[in-house]
Amino acid sequence: MLSGFFVGLLVGQTGVGGGSLMTPLLVLLFGIHPATAVGTDLLYASATKTVGTMVHGLNHTIDWRITGRLASGSVPATIITLTAMSMLHLTQSDSARFISVVLGILLLLTALSLIFRRQFVAMTAPTIDRLSARRRMQLTVLTGVLLGVLVTISSVGAGALGVTALLVLYPKAPMARIVGSDIAHAVPLTFLAGLGHWWLGSVDWPLLTSLLCGSIPGIIIGSYISAHVPDRVLRPILAATLTLVGGKLVF
């Protein structure tokens, strides 16, 4: 419950940290098998982001067209990835190592996206401005495909990586609408992936309940104090933490 509260606090302040912090926390601190940590965190993320989607929906900060494009790519990709995982029949040690390495690499990429997001968006803006509406739609669907694969394997990517990709593809959209659309897309993605992991036997229900009991008040408090803590302070701290944890998992 304390871990859920801690992660919920960060998610409420930054919008990032659900999969990026919860999964490695379960693996490194509590010794949970990586597959179980991923499956449990996916359902945890689905529940918490459902609440976030309701708030953004009431505030009219969701572009359902963007959300639908992402989901049209991520949902089939999630189903295919789950099917492949069930057919590979990896041993427990093999799957633990594979998931740990993928998780570590994605944490490092998430840290980079937090640090260099503005520079990356500015660098790609001239190219993106020349894209046709059809090409932009296709790239959004492709982004959904990549997120579907990455999130299903590691539970990481729907937050920081998803927001960064949308900022690149839709640079003129308001930030609140980008975040709201990304959160709304994460709900079906994490729920479907979480159900798949449950089917594979990779969900710890008592652990999930404890995490949710801690995260709900954490998110409420974090959302409240987010206006009083500068983003320029939180983002480097979160990026440094993800870099250290990612390096630990990879090496």
Write out pLDDT tens, residues 2-57. Answer: 888 888 777 666 556 667 778 888 888 888 988 898 899 899 888 878 877 887 78
What is the structure's pLDDT at 95? 66
What is the structure's pLDDT at 158? 76
What is the structure's pLDDT at 54? 83
The residues, ordered by sequence, that sit 6+ positions from 168 with a Cβ below 8 Å of its Cβ are: 120, 121, 124, 128
Report the C-alpha gap between 174 and 98 in whole angstroms.
37
Question: Three-class SS of residue 170?
Answer: coil
Cα-Cα end-to-end distance for the chain: 29
What is the structure's pLDDT at 172? 81
* Side-chain half-sphere CA neighbours of 29 within 13 A: 9
Please state, in angstroms and as integers, the Cα–Cα distance from residue 10 to each residue in 77, 122, 129, following that order: 29, 27, 33
What is the structure's pLDDT at 192? 95
Q: pLDDT under 50 in the chain at which residues?
A: none
227 φ, ψ to 5°? -70, -15
Which two structure tokens, joined as six digits, stand for 175?
């930030």
The residues, ordered by sequence, that sit 6+ positions from 175 with a Cβ below 8 Å of its Cβ are: 167
pTM of the model: 0.82
- Name the packing angle between helices 34-58 and 92-115 (round to 10°): 40
Q: Tokens 């990455």 identify what position?
A: 150
What is the structure's pLDDT at 210? 92
Q: Please, what sign has the CA dihedral across residues 77, 108, 66, 62?
A: positive
